[in-house]
Amino acid sequence: MIEVKNVSLTIKKTTILKTVCASFENGMIHGLIGRNGSGKTMLMKCICGFVKPTEGEIIIDGVRVGKDIDFPKDMGIIIETPGFIPYYSGYKNLKLLAGLNNKIGKEQVREAMKKVGLDPDLKRHVKKYSLGMRQRLGLAQAIMEDPKILVLDEPFNGLDKDGVKEMREYLLSYKEQGKTILICSHSAEDISVLCDTVHEMDKGKLEIIS
């Protein structure tokens, strides 16, 4: 379970998050909605350990992020535009990233790419990828180590209709494996099709709406 307890965040005298409280249970897909600038992405960054809250705490499976550990283990992440080495192929980028943890080998990298509809043997450099291909590569990066938790900020950006359908089906199958997914999307259809719970952010405050 992901527990957000009284989390507030102030940056340069600007309040970004205001006493946010939430519990995101395991084995479910949880949706975050809200206008641009409402605090959704910053809350995700706090959950991932990228930003330390000014007040409050975030606990994942009983471990405090930023205190007991710097970054949550077993978490796949897409936040904002995924960044890759532009003059390497998609496969080479993921193979380099996989080498950081040494948890998986080249076969798991190849399988992750195939799952999201990318050809691991494609030699094209990432700088020549379309936006949709970059987004698929970002999702492959997030899932390749088979994490328990996925945190996905607008994961369907740049995907065509068929691509969105494929990714939705994949995420639903991922949930069926007992995984936990926290997803932010501007699409009401994405949220209604995928999510078991929906939380809305407005001016840094969080409210559960379903």
Question: Within 13 Å of residue 39, how many CA atoms lie on the same side as its CB?
Answer: 25
Distance from C-alpha of 49 to C-alpha of 71, rounded to nearest angstrom: 5
Quote the DSSP letter at residue 11. E
Strand duo 149-153 + 180-184: pairing: parallel
Antiparallel, parallel or unpaired: β 63-64 and 55-60: antiparallel
For 116-121, what is the mean pLDDT? Answer: 93
Backbone angles phi, psi at 142, to 5 degrees: -70, -35
pLDDT at 147: 93
Task: Assign a CATH topology to domain 1-74+148-210.
Answer: Rossmann fold (3.40.50)
Model confidence at 183: pLDDT above 90: yes
- Euclidean distance between CA atoms 43 and 182, whole angstroms: 11
Q: What is the pLDDT of residue 42?
A: 93
Predicted confidence band of residue 6 (pLDDT cuts 50, 70, 90): very high
At 95, the pLDDT band (50, 70, 90 cuts) reads: very high
Q: Give the model's pLDDT for residue 65.
A: 93
Q: How confident is the model at residue 102 (pLDDT cuts 50, 70, 90)?
A: confident
On average, the pLDDT of the chain sits at 91
CA 30 to chain centre: 11
Asked if residue 42 lies in contact with residue 114, where contact means CB atoms within 8 angstroms, the answer is no
Containing 5, the helix (H) or strand (E) segment is strand 2-11
Can you spell out the DSSP letters for 16-51?
EEEEEEEEE-TTSEEEEE--TTSSHHHHHHHHTTSS
pLDDT band at 197 (very low <50, low <70, confident <90, very high): very high
Q: How confident is the model at residue 188 (pLDDT cuts 50, 70, 90)?
A: confident
DSSP string for 158-196 = T--HHHHHHHHHHHHHHHHTT-EEEEE-S-HHHHHHH-S
CB 132 within 8 A of CB 158: yes
d(CA 115, CA 105): 16
* Dmax (CA) of the chain: 49
Enumerate the domain spans of the chain: 1-74+148-210, 83-145
Check residue 130 and report its DSSP letter.
-
For the stretch 52-86, pLDDT in tens is 999 999 999 999 998 888 888 889 999 877 789 99
